[in-house]
């Protein structure tokens, strides 16, 4: 079925069992797992899942190259033993693993930052100083030494990180390289650093060792490389001895989303396709490839020789195995939310995955078969209830899952209709499959009573009844103009041309995105050309960096006001790595963002507010309330009142922290121990 994807790739001295690379992800285990035992378990599970080649998270070749002051570079031989725990674990499972060598340059979160020149990255508070000529030489030696140590630790190869705006990229592009010595000036001088690193690494490690070079094929910053320059570098890297070229898309400081859920699936494969035929070594396509059908199409369309998926292996370590066994419908799909992976890395916490809390916690939580099957009732088929019921059933318990609505999914049913969040439907599909596979007894349209639960002979009762939108206490709140978010997103109520949204949390932002999108047009997330136009990417690569002269977003069909009572930037509490995307998107749609608003009343005239020291009336057709939620926990309360023990999880337990990540994690840890 996935003929190309599952076909081997012959590298001459070694063969990869299929065309799937598990791309590098910095999981923070590099810094926070002192023995590498957890890291070994994490990668071994992915190797067991049959991925063709794994690349580790970035490892610094020297102290200056570290992303943050914690952790250590791989620069002395005694550390090989620790790395060998990882390589042994992967090899025992029949896998192959390369170690990524990453020097972050000016992206470090440390006052010790260095770069090609003295500049400051917009995403680091610390300016960088310029490396001296001797230090550049030393940096090359450190890369080579690090690769030699990786070889001693029995990695199958290394990936040299030359993209995403890190040190090597900072040397290549003139906006960050203002040097006048042999490492600056002409393009030939600026690309000497990566070429020398690859050439000298090949000399040091010999022929039979994989060297992947991650090449920035699309910088997405002003003054980035031209296409001709990128091709020139690719050819030089091949000559210098690289085995494979992996694609890098966009510097981290680029203002075009490159991996968020808003990015179309396989949306950047066209970039790698441009490079096909320019070099004779295999090319890897990357970014937002999350399912085998997407990957297979990329290969069938001749865009690349191999595909890289990173986060999808957090969501499901068995992605390849399930593809091989015709079970792709059972894949727990990465929904590209970044909530438990990148947002964790950027806040120095160990990564995990919203839909798979076991990711990077394999030594801590396991769903082992039970030898004492219990009868379990789970009430509510939102994310918490779905995770609890399916994992409990997978372990061998007998599970009844009760849901008052006619479908499973809870809040995810609202997320999936937001343009750019269509992927949430995958999670609902996954849980639907798990319900069937593990024989969960699903009772839809069934508001289970306290009596049924009391008399059902259950050993355990889990209440995951979720939340209900918060009702506001302002004059005119029952006016026909007032809707809540569920009315709009779940019950499909029509919304007029002028609309005010009360509350600018996660759901307020989602609502603004929904209402400012013209539903006559396909969501740009579904169409690569439309997406590139919307975010200002020039697919003809007319200028260096491939940015268009201006973004061309679709106009909003409505005049939208996004209101909040508090002071400060809208969306401050959104995800660390995604908040800026939501803010930029709404700014492009010209959504009016008002802060420090007092809500006075709603009447036929519209929404009366006090803002900027004066009273105003927003003459709107509708007011949509997105002011958070309150828990739906009455069932739990009445069971407790009757002395019946029940577990309370998810939003029903704590609505103020309503959050799918917390809900699924709570459910998973609870039933892993039942």
Span from 18-26, 367-375, 564-572, 606-614 in contact with ligand NAP (CB under 6 A): 564-572
Which is nearer to ligand SF4, 169 or 333 (by Cβ)? 333
**Interface pick for ligand NAP out of 50, 115, 117, 629 (rule CB under 6 A):** 629
CB of residue 259 vs ligand SF4: minimum separation in angstroms? 8
Residue 626 binding ligand NAP, by CB under 6 A? yes
How far, in Å, are 207, 403, 466, 662, 665 from residue 653 at the CA level?
A: 58, 17, 8, 11, 13
Size of the site for ligand SF4 (CB under 6 A): 14
Q: Does 22 bind ligand SF4 (CB under 6 A)?
A: no
Minimum distance between the CB of residue 334 and ligand SF4, rounded to whole angstroms?
Answer: 3
Identify what 591 binds: ligand SF4, ligand NAP, none; CB under 5 to 8 Å per kind.
Answer: none
Interface with ligand SF4 includes 338 (CB under 6 A)? yes
315 binds ligand SF4 (CB under 6 A): yes
8 Å CB contact between 308 and 286: yes
- Among all chains, which residue has been given the structure tokens 């910088």? 219
For Cα atoms 252, 253, 254, give the angle at the middle one, nearest 5 degrees: 90
Partner interacting with residue 610 (select from ligand SF4, ligand NAP, none; CB below 5-8 Å by kind): none
Return the beta strands (E) in 11-51 as ranges: 15-16, 20-22
Q: Kindly state the tokens that stand for 452.
A: 């049924």
Cβ-based neighbours of 337, under 8 Å, separated by 6 or more: 261, 354, 575, 578
Tell me if residue 588 falls in helix, strand or coil.
helix
Per-residue binding string, ligand NAP, 427-466, x by CB under 6 A, is: ----------------------------------------
CB 481 within 8 A of CB 397: no
Asked whether position 339 contacts ligand SF4 by CB under 6 A, the answer is yes
Q: Is residue 630 part of the contact set for ligand NAP (CB under 6 A)?
A: no
Residue 575 binds ligand NAP, judged by CB under 6 A: yes
- Cα–Cα distance for residue pair 221/546, rounded to 1 Å: 8
Stretch that binds ligand SF4, among 171-179, 250-258, 330-338, 535-543 (CB under 6 A): 330-338
Stretch touching ligand NAP by CB under 6 A, among 145-153, 393-401, 491-499, 622-630: 622-630
How far CA 425 is from CA of 234, 282, 410, 442, in Å, comes to 38, 34, 11, 19
Inter-CA distances, 458 with 400, 451, 452, 592, Å? 9, 12, 10, 52
3-state secondary structure of 432: helix
DSSP at 498: E
Q: Is the dihedral of CA 602, 605, 611, 614 positive or negative?
A: negative
Cβ closest to ligand NAP, residue 15 vs residue 566: 566
Block residue for tokens 């085998």: 292
Q: For ligand NAP, which residue of 202, 252, 395, 564 counts as binding (CB under 6 A)?
A: 564
- Whether 663 contacts 656, CB under 8 Å: no
For the chain, the straight-line distance linking the first and the last C-alpha, in angstroms and rounded, comes to: 38
Tell me if 361 sits within 8 A of 29, measured CB to CB: no
User: In the set 76, 497, 565, 610, which binds ligand NAP (CB under 6 A)?
Assistant: 565
Please identify, using beta-carbon distances, which residue of 254 and 586 lies nearer to ligand NAP.
586
From ligand NAP, ligand SF4, none, interface partner of 502 (C-beta below 5 to 8 A by class): ligand NAP
Residue 316 CB, shortest distance to ligand SF4, in Å, is 9
DSSP letter for 99, please. E
Minimum Å gap between C-beta 498 and ligand NAP is 20
Residue pair 60/345 in contact (Cβ under 8 Å)? The answer is no
Length of the chain counted residue by residue: 674
Distance of CA 111 to the CA centre of its chain: 28
CB of 336 vs ligand SF4, minimal distance in Å: 5
**Residue 530 — left, alpha, or beta (φ > 0 → left; ψ -120 to 50 → alpha)?**
alpha
Q: Are 620 and 561 in contact (CB under 8 A)?
A: yes
User: Interface with ligand NAP includes 476 (CB under 6 A)?
Assistant: no
Scanning 117-125, 239-247, 524-532, 627-635 for contacts with ligand NAP by CB under 6 A, the matching segment is 627-635
Is 166 catalytic? The answer is: yes
> Residue 467 is inside which H or E element, if any?
strand 467-469
Output the 3-class SS for 369-424: CCCCCCEEEEECCCHHHHHHHHHHHHCCCEEEEECCCCCCCCCHHHHCCCCCCCCH
Total residues interacting with ligand NAP, rule: CB under 6 A: 22
Candidate residues 40, 53, 97, 335; the one interacting with ligand SF4 per rule CB under 6 A:
335
> What span, in angstroms and rounded, lies between the C-alpha atoms of 440 and 325?
23
Q: Which region among 74-82, 335-343, 447-455, 498-506 touches ligand SF4 (by CB under 6 A)? A: 335-343
Site string for ligand SF4, 353-372 (x = CB under 6 A): xxx-----------------
Residue 659 binds which entry of ligand NAP, ligand SF4, none, CB below 5-8 Å type-dependent: ligand NAP
Q: Which of 502, 532, 547, 664 binds ligand NAP (CB under 6 A)?
A: 502
Side-chain half-sphere exposure of 357, counting CA atoms within 13 A: 22
Residue nearest to ligand NAP (CB): 505
315 binds, among ligand SF4, ligand NAP, none (CB under 5 to 8 A by kind): ligand SF4
Instruction: Identify what 340 binds: ligand SF4, ligand NAP, none; CB under 5 to 8 Å per kind.
Output: ligand SF4
Partnered with residue 55 across adjacent β-strands are 98
Chain-centre distance for alpha carbon 642: 44
Interface pick for ligand SF4 out of 168, 254, 331, 334 (rule CB under 6 A): 334
Among 5, 6, 230, 337, binds ligand SF4 (CB under 6 A): 337
Query: What are residue 499's DSSP bridge partners?
Result: 560, 622
Q: Which is nearer to ligand NAP, 165 or 606 (CB)?
A: 606
The item of ligand SF4, ligand NAP, none sharing an interface with residue 472, based on CB under 5 to 8 Å by kind, is: ligand NAP
The catalytic residue among 166, 485, 514, 561 is 166
Figure out which of the listed residues 510, 534, 559, 666 binds ligand NAP, where binding follows CB under 6 A. 510
- Interaction partner, residue 507 (ligand NAP, ligand SF4, none; CB < 5-8 Å by kind): ligand NAP
382, 466 Cβ separation under 8 angstroms: yes
- What are the backbone dihedrals phi and psi of residue 461, each rounded to the nearest 5 degrees, phi first? -125, 130
Q: To 10 degrees, what angle do helices 192-205 and 133-152 make? A: 30
Question: Which two tokens mark 77?
Answer: 């031989």
Assess 263 for contact with ligand SF4 (CB under 6 A): no
Q: State the minimum distance, in angstroms, from the CB of residue 662 to ligand NAP.
A: 8
Interacting stretch for ligand SF4, rule CB under 6 A, among 3-11, 322-330, 348-356, 458-466?
Answer: 348-356
Cβ contact 248:206 at 8 Å? no
Q: Contact, 219 vs 544, CB < 8 A?
A: yes
The item of ligand SF4, ligand NAP, none sharing an interface with residue 257, based on CB under 5 to 8 Å by kind, is none
Interacting residues with ligand NAP (CB under 6 A): 470, 472, 502-503, 505-510, 564-566, 574-575, 582, 626-629, 658-659
Active-site residue list = 166
Interacting residues with ligand SF4 (CB under 6 A): 311, 314-315, 334-341, 353-355
């Amino acid at each position: 079925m996935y003929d190309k994807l599952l076909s081997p790739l012959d590298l001459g001295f070694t063969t990869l069992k299929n065309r799937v690379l598990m791309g590098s992800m910095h999981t923070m285990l590099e810094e926070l797992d002192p023995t590498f035992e957890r890291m070994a378990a994490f990668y071994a599970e992915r190797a067991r899942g049959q991925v063709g080649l794994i690349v580790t998270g970035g490892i610094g070749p020297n102290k200056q190259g570290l992303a943050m002051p914690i952790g250590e570079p791989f620069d002395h031989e005694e550390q090989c033993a620790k790395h060998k725990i990882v390589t042994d674990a992967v090899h025992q499972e029949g896998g192959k693993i390369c170690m990524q060598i990453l020097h972050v340059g000016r992206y470090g979160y440390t006052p010790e930052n260095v770069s090609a020149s003295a500049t400051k990255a917009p995403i680091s508070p610390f300016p960088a100083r310029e490396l001296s000529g001797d230090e550049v030489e030393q940096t090359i030696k450190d890369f080579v030494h690090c690769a030699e140590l990786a070889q001693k630790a029995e990695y199958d190869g290394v990936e040299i990180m030359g993209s995403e705006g890190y040190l090597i990229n900072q040397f290549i592009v003139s906006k960050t390289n203002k040097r006048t010595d042999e490492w600056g000036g002409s393009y030939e001088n600026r690309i000497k650093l990566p070429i020398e690193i690859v050439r000298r690494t090949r000399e040091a490690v010999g022929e039979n060792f994989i060297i992947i070079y991650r090449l920035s094929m699309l910088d997405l910053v002003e003054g980035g490389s031209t296409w001709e320059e990128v091709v020139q570098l690719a050819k030089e890297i091949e000559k210098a001895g690289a085995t494979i070229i992996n694609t890098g898309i966009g510097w981290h400081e680029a203002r075009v989303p490159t991996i968020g859920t808003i990015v179309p699936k396989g949306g950047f494969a066209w970039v790698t396709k441009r490079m096909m035929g320019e070099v004779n070594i295999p090319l890897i396509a990357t970014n937002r490839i999350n399912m085998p059908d997407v990957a297979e199409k990329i290969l069938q369309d001749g865009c690349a020789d191999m595909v890289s998926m990173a986060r999808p292996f957090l969501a499901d370590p068995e992605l390849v195995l399930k593809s091989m066994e015709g079970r792709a419908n059972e894949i727990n799909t990465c929904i590209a939310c970044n909530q438990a992976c990148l947002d964790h890395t950027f806040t120095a916490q160990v990564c995990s995955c919203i839909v798979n809390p076991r990711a990077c916690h394999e030594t801590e939580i396991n769903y082992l078969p039970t030898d004492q099957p219990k009868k379990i009732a789970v009430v509510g088929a939102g994310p918490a209830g779905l995770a609890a019921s399916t994992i409990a059933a997978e372990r061998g318990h007998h599970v009844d899952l009760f849901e008052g609505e006619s479908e499973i999914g809870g809040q995810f049913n609202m997320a999936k209709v937001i343009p750019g969040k269509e992927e949430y439907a995958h999670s609902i599909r996954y849980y639907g499959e798990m319900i069937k596979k593990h024989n969960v007894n699903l009772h839809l349209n069934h508001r289970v009573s306290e009596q049924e639960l009391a008399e059902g002979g259950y050993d355990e009762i889990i209440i995951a009844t979720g939340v209900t939108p918060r009702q506001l206490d302002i004059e005119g709140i029952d006016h026909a103009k007032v809707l809540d978010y569920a009315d709009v997103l779940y019950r499909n109520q029509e919304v007029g041309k002028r609309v005010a949204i009360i509350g600018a949390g996660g759901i307020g932002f989602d609502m603004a995105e929904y209402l400012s999108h013209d539903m006559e047009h396909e969501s740009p997330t579904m169409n690569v050309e439309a997406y590139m136009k919307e975010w200002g990417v020039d697919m003809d690569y007319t200028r260096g960096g491939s940015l268009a002269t201006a973004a061309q977003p679709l106009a909003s069909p409505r005049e939208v006001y996004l209101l909040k009572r508090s002071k400060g930037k809208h969306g401050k509490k959104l995800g660390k790595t995604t908040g800026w995307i939501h803010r930029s998107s709404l700014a492009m749609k010209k959504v009016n963002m008002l802060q420090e608003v007092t809500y006075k009343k709603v009447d036929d005239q519209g929404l009366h507010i006090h803002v900027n020291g004066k009273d105003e009336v927003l003459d709107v057709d509708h007011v949509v309330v997105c002011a958070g939620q309150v828990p739906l926990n009455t069932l739990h309360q009445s069971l407790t009142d009757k002395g019946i023990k029940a577990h309370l999880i998810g939003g029903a337990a704590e609505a103020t922290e309503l959050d799918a990540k917390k809900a699924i994690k709570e459910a998973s840890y609870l039933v892993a121990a039942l």
